[in-house]
Amino acid sequence: MPTKHSYADLLEANAWIRKASDAFYFQCTARTVQESKLFPVNPYIALSYLNAWYRYPDLFRKIEAAMPAEEIGDYARERSTSANIITNGIIEQFYLGGRQMLMDMGMLKPTDALDDVMYVLDFTRRLNLSYHRNHAHILPTDAGLSAQLLPERQVQVFEADALGTKPGDKLHTAVAQFLAAVSQYAFLKNSECRLGIHNSGPYKVAQGEMLVREFVDLAESDLPWLDGVAADVELNNITMPVFMKDTHFNIVDDWASFEAQPSYNHDNMYAVGLYTSDYLSDGYLPVHMDSASELADYLDHLRDSIHAATQGLWKQVAGWSRDQMIDSGLLVYYNVPKDLAHIAGVYDQQDWYTVEDRVQRFKPMFNDEYGNHLIAELVGYISLRSQQGNEYHMAKGSNARGDMWSTIPYSVLGDDEWTESVGPIRGGSTSLPQKTALYTTTQGKLTQEQCNEAARALRVPTLEDGLRHLDDTWVKNHPDDPRVHELYRRTQANSFALKDQGAGLLREDVLRLRKGAGREE
């Protein structure tokens, strides 16, 4: 029986598969590779792909029953959460990785689970289109390795409120020491992967460029292994706009990593801000930004609490078994969409922190040797038998015969055999301790049920009252419309320099107001 999906549906789905395949190949082969001597990284990556394959379809249907994917993208763009460039952009990669592995094992045909595959691809495409609406590309690789997520109204607030600093002063030193501490902590708590670190931008500012640096899931929150050890970390998500002179960020890529020309030199930082936000905040909330001295003192305090959490986590991880290390990394990778559930108000810890029974059966195969070779062939060499095209084929980026992810055969429109789904989620388990602490949020420490209730009740002011679809293009063509001023005033609600200024500000206005508010050095 022919599938219900149209020819146009399949054309679009296969184009998204190929775009994802090409983008992931570039990231995997052009960027740095880190190898952990502690965590079995490649075995846990491979197993996370399988967990994604079996569970994402049902979980995304559950999320979308509460909130459409494109609306979630809009909510995520107005704040910093774990739903960001790197996580939103790799959801379909991990899912297609599980599909490809099972196809290569001979357990799956490219026409299997057709409805699931079509739905996950459509969900992730709509999510990323919405999240990247401001620059109208679906991935940073499409924008020349740039990720300008934020509208003018938010960038103006960041620039106007940033606190001036210079090498050797108290704030400059505090920022450098804090970034070193939080970067090390972010890698460790995420089982030595980069998923807790996020960058977006760059944006042209008065003296150079601004890069928005973010660190997420720092406190007692979703990661159960942070219960206790991160009890004194006050903020779960941190946003730090850094303003650099004599520096061009020539790469901000799909993994939210950056490169600069000349290379990043902290001495070139001339201003900085600090904000927090999450799925329960109505925007970016400034943190101890009344003065440079106050911000420096708070960063030192936050650095010390993160140092203590890092030490506590090291002691905990040192006692973990290999199975626990695999589960932690597997779950960090697999749960990259978890904040979509938080935003929609349908988060369940069991959905995102257990390993599907159908994945547990693969674990005995995944020793280091097998896991390393499998991941190398799957996303590096593209040498698996199932990935190979015909002898004339030349893949983008490599000119090789193989592509990372296989497309869907159009024969399902005719008389080819196909199946609908992998079926419902079955039981799951983990070798790690269960979560016991409350969730750290901008509304305080809450239970899971309280988080969901608050998320469902939340109304983000810049998305309400007909403002949601007023983008920068519309604003440019309707400068005197009262709705433009209302949109800007709502974004400026917590600003030191721009509160109630409304729209129509040029850079010279922003700099004048910034100086008047005492934000310069």
Instruction: Tell me the pLDDT tens digit for each residue of 252-271.
Output: 999 999 999 999 999 999 99
Question: Of the given ranges (192-196, 208-212, 447-451), which has the lowest mean pLDDT?
Answer: 192-196
pLDDT tens for each residue of 159-193: 999 999 999 999 999 999 999 999 999 999 999 99
Query: Sign of the CA dihedral 506, 244, 289, 227?
Result: positive
- Rounded Cα–Cα distance for residues 447 and 452 (Å): 9
Report, as an integer, the average pLDDT of 367-380.
93
Report, as an integer, the average pLDDT of 38-45.
93
pLDDT exceeding 70 applies to what percent of the chain?
99
Helices vs. strands in the chain: H and E counts, helices first: 17, 13
- Rounded Cα–Cα distance for residues 475 and 492 (Å): 16
pLDDT at 461: 96
Report, as an integer, the average pLDDT of 146-168.
96
Three-state secondary structure call for residue 144: coil
Find the Cα–Cα–Cα–Cα dihedral 116, 190, 276, 124, rounded to 10°.
-20
208 — phi, psi (to 5°)? 165, -120
Tokens 């992998």, residue located: 422
Distances (CA, A) of 247 to 266, 267, 346: 10, 11, 42
Mean pLDDT score of the chain, rounded to an integer?
95
Report, as an integer, the average pLDDT of 441-452.
98
Alpha helices, DSSP H, located in 256-354: 292-318, 322-334, 338-344, 349-352
